[in-house]
Structure 1
Amino acid sequence: MTPVPTIPPPHPDPRAPSFKLPPGSCDTHCHIFGPGERYPYVPERPYTPPDAPLEMFRALHDRLGVERAVIVNATPHGRDNRVVTDAIAQSGGRYKGIANVDDSFGERELRDLLEAGIEGCRFTFLPRLGQMPDMSAFDRIVERIAGFGWHVDLYLPATLIQEFRPRLMSLPVPYVLDHMGVVDASQGLDQPGFVALMDLVRDDEKCWVKVTCPERISRGGPPFHDVAPFGRALVELAPDRVLWGTDWPHPNVPVMPDDGDLVDLVPLYAPDPALRQKLLVDNPARLFRFDD
C-alpha cells in the first residue's frame, strides 16, 4: 500500500495586509482540518494535512480582517461534514459551508445539511485528488439538491471546460468554478483554457468564478502579481458573479503563500471600490444567503 503523503502546514505567521478589507468581507473558499482525534481523516485520503483547526482559522481571519467565511469540506475528511457544520454552529451566523456528498445521501441527509448552514456541494475533477466524478451520480445529486437553492462547486481545470461546457450550460442549478480554472499565468490571457473560461462566464449566467489560489496559478512566485490580470479580467467581465477567498490552509500548493499577500492582491483584481464591494461582500452574501 502506497504511503499517504503529509503536506506542509500553512504559513506560521502571516502578516497583516496593507489593504483593509471592507466590513462584511467574506473568505468564500477556506478549509478546516481536524483536529484529527475529533474529526478523523478517511483512510482513502490522497494526502494527510497537519491539523488546522477552528482556533487557527479564527486567528487567521482576525488578522486579515475577514468577517465571514464559507468553509469547504476538503478531501481528507471524506463525506463526513461535521468539521464544517460544527464550525458553522459556533459562528453566530458568520459561516456557511460547502459539503462533500455522494449518491448515498438521501433527501433527509441533504436537508439536515441545509439546516446546518450548507449552501452547496463540491465535485473535484482532478485526478491527483481521486477519481473523476461518476457523472450519472453527479446528475442524480444535482437533481436532488435543485429544490434547496444550493449550487455546485466545481474544481474543474480550465483545460476541461470545453469538454464539459454542454453539461454545465444545461445544469438546473448555479455552479461555481474554483481557482480561476487553475490556468497557467505564464501562458497569458489568450491561452485556450482561459478563453474557454471567459466564454463560459460570458455565456452562462449560472456560472460563478472564484478569484482564488494565485499561488497555484503564478509562475512568478510571491506576491503573485502575475496573476492579477486574470483576476481583473474575470471581475470586469462578470462583476456580479465573482468571489474571493484564501484557500487557507493551502493544501498541496507549489509554494506556501503569506495570506497577507493574498489580501493585498484584491485592489489589483478590483481597483474600483464598487467592484471590490461586490467581490468581497455583496456577491457572497447573495450566493451563500447570509442573513443581513
Structure 2
Amino acid sequence: MTAPKTPGWLDWCATPSTPDFRLPPGAVDAHCHVFGPQAEFPFAPERKYTPCDASKDQLFALRDHLGVARNVVVQATCHGADNSAMVDAVRAAGGRARGVATVRPGIGDAELRELDAAGVRGVRFNFVKRLVDASPREELTAIARRIAPLGWHVVLYFEAADLPELEDFFGTLPVPLVIDHMGRPDVTKPVHGAEFDRFLRFAGRHDVWVKVSCPERLTVTGPPAYADVVPFARRVVAEFGDRVLWGTDWPHPNLKHHMPDDGLLVDHVPRIAETPEAQRKLLVDNPMRLYWPGETA
C-alpha cells in the first residue's frame, strides 16, 4: 500500500529544457536523490514528509538529457537509514554513480564494507530541525570514527543561523566535511556580512568542501536568474575553487513554491563559475578527486 504525498508537494519537472550551457565532458551531478518508487522501496515510518516517486531510471534519463556523466546519489531523509533505494541506484549506474548513506551507530563492519563495495563514499548528518529529530553528537562522532578508515567523508546539512552552535562540533569530526547548499545562507543579508563571513572562515579552517547548489531553495527573487544567490555562489567559487561541487538536487524535495527546470539549473552554472577553468574544477576535477580518486573522467 502506498501513502499519498504530502499536501502542497510539487512534483519534479518531467520535461526539462535543453540547457544552453554545454557541460564539460565528465561533468558530475554531485547532489541528487531517488525516492522509492514507494511500491518497491517503502518510505520510513518516521519520515517527516511523503514525496512523489522519483526512480533511478528517471534520474538516469535526466542525467543523459542534461549531458551529465556521473551522479552522486544522496540518501533522502524520507527513507531514513534504509539505504536500499540509494544503493540500488548506485549499483545500477555501472560505475557512473557514488552514494552518500545514512547510518546508525550500531551498524556492523560487514554492512559498512558492503556499502563501500556498492559505491558509498560518505554519510550524511542532517541538522535541519524541520526534517529530522536531533541526533546525539556522541553517536554522530562514533559514526565518523567508524567511517574514517574507509576514506569516507561526512555530508552536513544545516541552516546558516545554526552554524554558531554547531561549528565547534563539526571541527572535531575526524573526516573531510562536505557542506550542502553553501550552508543555506540567508541571501537577503550581505554577501560580505558577518553570517556568510563566518561560514567561509569555518570552511577555510577545516578540510571542507562546499556545494554551490540549490539556488531554487535559497532564492527570494526567484527564477530563472536566481540573481540574489549568484553573489554567494561566486564568492565560494572564487575563494574555494579546488573544493567546490555542484548538483541539481533532483527531484527537489520539499519545494512548495516553485519547481525548477533542471535545464535552467545547468544554465545557472556559468553565472557562478565564470571561466572554463573554474567550470571544469567545479563540475569535473573536484568531484572526481573526491568520489573517484585515481580515475579519469
Alignment TM class, shorter chain as reference = over 0.9
Higher mean displacement: 127-136 or 182-191: 182-191
Please state if 1:283 is matched with 2:281: no
Structure 1 SS opposite 2:229 = helix
Q: Quote how far apart the aligned CAs of 1:70 are.
A: 0.1
Q: Give me the TM-score of the superposition, normalised by structure 2.
A: 0.94
Q: Quote how far apart the aligned CAs of 1:132 are.
A: 2.0
Please provide the CA RMSD for this pair: 1.4
**Residue pair 1:4, 1:46 contacting (<8 A) in 2 also:** no
- Could you tell me how far apart the structure 2 residues matched to 1:228 and 1:189 are? 10
Q: Quote how far apart the aligned CAs of 1:61 are.
A: 1.4
Over the matched positions of the two proteins, sequence identity in percent amounts to 46
Q: Quote how far apart the aligned CAs of 1:60 are.
A: 1.1
Q: Counterparts in 2 of 1:1-292, with a 5 A limit?
A: 5-6=6-7, 7-204=9-206, 206-223=207-224, 224-253=226-255, 254-289=257-292, 291-292=295-296
Between the two proteins, the alignment pairs up a number of residues equal to: 289
Q: Give me the TM-score of the superposition, normalised by structure 1.
A: 0.95
- Could you tell me how far apart the structure 2 residues matched to 1:90 and 1:5 are? 28
**Residue pair 1:157, 1:183 contacting (<8 A) in 2 also:** yes
- Could you tell me how far apart the structure 1 residues matched to 2:123 and 2:214 are? 19
- Could you tell me how far apart the structure 1 residues matched to 2:195 and 2:116 are? 34
Deviation string, structure 1 residues 152-196 (Cα, Å, up to 9, x no partner)? 001011222222222222321001110111112222203433111
Q: Quote how far apart the aligned CAs of 1:53 are.
A: 0.5
| Structure 1 segments (4+ residues) deviating >6 Å | none
Q: Quote how far apart the aligned CAs of 1:207 are.
A: 0.8
- Could you tell me how far apart the structure 2 residues matched to 1:61 and 1:188 are? 34
Which letter maps to 1:269?
A: I
Which letter maps to 1:241?
A: R
- Could you tell me how far apart the structure 2 residues matched to 1:23 and 1:211 are? 20
- Could you tell me how far apart the structure 1 residues matched to 2:119 and 2:195 are? 33
Q: Quote how far apart the aligned CAs of 1:4 are.
A: 7.4
Deviation string, structure 1 residues 47-86 (Cα, Å, up to 9, x no partner)? 1111010121111111111110000010111111111111
**Residue pair 2:125, 2:156 contacting (<8 A) in 1 also:** yes
Higher mean displacement: 7-16 or 95-104: 7-16
Unpaired runs of 5+ residues, structure 1, are: none
Structure 2 SS opposite 1:139 = helix
Deviation string, structure 1 residues 13-41 (Cα, Å, up to 9, x no partner)? 11011100000000000001111111111
Unpaired runs of 5+ residues, structure 2, are: none
Structure 2 SS opposite 1:129 = coil
